[in-house]
Chains A and B, each alone.
Chain A
Amino acid sequence: MTQPVSPPRGSTDKVPPMSELPAWRTLAARADVRTLSLLGVLVALIVIGGITKPDEFLDTRNLQLVLTQASVIGVVTVGMTFVITSGGIDLSVGAIVALSSVWATTVATQEYGFAGILFTAVLVGVGCGLVNGLLIAYGGMVPFIATLAMLASARGLALQITDGKTQIVTIDGILKLGERDSYILGIPPLVLVFAVVTIIGWLILNRTTFGRRTVAVGGNAEAARLAGIDVRRQRLYLYLLSGLCCGIAAFLLIILSGSGQNTNGNLYELDAIAAAIIGGTLLSGGRGTITGSVLGVLIFTTITNIFALNNLQSDVQQIAKGAIIVAAVLVQRRTAAHST
């Protein structure tokens, strides 16, 4: 066999029906049960919000608010999903967001205006991701340790740059983007960025060779290597991608908060990991879902929103958040168990 097998033209792929399961089950199995059960959790939350605060919760402005608040952590989570799918972890995302937002809002950077801030935020994010990637892929460091080191250094550097001060952004073009005048057809620009990042992330993970390699590396790195995939280079790219997402998130955060502060992005790493895992991405790698991750983020943001609207205090919020994480995962497991 010296010639590669050529695919038969116009071949279709009809999957035989999965035995005698009822139609909805087959449908559910195809649309990924986990995703459906997450949607169920989200709908339940919306019902709760609608019952407890009908006027404030079921309101266009509130929808805009929830989506806006989800944007920053959402973009970070998309990057995190890739890293976790590849069997890695990135603990430095919050610190990179802090460093990017701080570097991009120094007096010197602000002199270059809108573009200067955007460029710096993204570049710093990618730079940190590059360091992570090089340490992990070519330095042979465990992702947990390498990104933990990055967490510490990036936070430290952010503190050094700000000297503990809050850096106020004075560029109107940036500030305006967070305000209602800039909404496009009622959609806040931040939400648009989030949506675009999500869609691109979904396409990359599910429709490109890059996504396939990510899944292969996470599923079985040795098999991927022996199949001819450059595992190290793939790992490098993945941490770069996570860094890029952090840079974009930092820019969104600058728009949202009108400032840069070294405390930005506090505990983003945990929120992003939690959202990805709840969404159905395997912490051990080999399976990842952008849709699930985004639903995870939306669930968290909606919970926070409902609590705030009902004026529940942070102690209650934290307890309930923990309970809902457990509930969401249990619901998922049950549904998944019934359908496989």
Chain B
Amino acid sequence: MTTIQNLLDRGGYIITDGAMGTVLFSAGLEHGDPPELWNINQPERVAAVHEAYIEAGSQVLLTNTFGGSRYRLSLHNAQGQVVEANQAAAKILRQVADESDVDVIVAGDIGPSGEVLAPYGELAFQDAKDAFTEQAAALIDGNVDLIWIETMSDLEEVRAAVEGTREVSDEIPIVTTMTFDTHGRTMMGVTPEQAYETLSSFEVIALGGNCGNGPEEIIEVITKMSSLNNGKPLVAKANAGIPELVNGKAVYRASPETMADYAVNSFNAGARIIGGCCGSTPDHIAAIKNALAIHVQ
């Protein structure tokens, strides 16, 4: 079985998937409904998104569990379904991966709790850690290859998620990315350089940036992280631009060509694991794959 380490050892770049949430909304998910419950109720639609990304060239795919922690699900009164929703998501992606002709890595996705940790907010570190342990345990039970912690803005919350995962498994590889959308820092004021130093110390297999205000922002993050590089593989997973409202619908303006340019620029800036976030689709990933194949011989 191919592992993320095998892919990294081959050199060059690794392509991840793009958005799940915004694609599911196009597939009929109602506004305000948690995408994670589709793992239980509409598994074939979630599987179809994964299949489309593999078809487009994604080598690392993320489970549909971004908001799968008890804190996020509790906002939909679904806090009792953490285990069910995360296991189901892992199984959906595992099955799609197993049935695919190409090697793909199944990454168990963990997003932020949505709460602010003490002392700034009310969430105690231990409570956050327990919630991440619960989610990671369900994902690992569902047989994911690695844990992917993303869209974080607080280093302590990343630490809670990493330690929570380590309660379940000492070995499973962990990737972490943060969102640098506020004056070049995260919402909580973390610079790319601080993130690089701290996340490296968590012994993650790769780290970087995701989401935010579009491609240019992430390239700057990668450039800063690269300048400190001690060899940690860097991840770039940008949104397809900033959404605009057209006839009442949110439209992400970055075309597949724009995202393809972003992918090449990210690679040149030092990113090795490259993909999309909100607003990106299998078409964007296919364009990224083509562009990288031409650019990186």
Q: Do A and B come from one complex?
A: no
B interface with A by C-beta (< 8 Å): none
Q: Which residues of A contact B (CB under 8 A)?
A: none
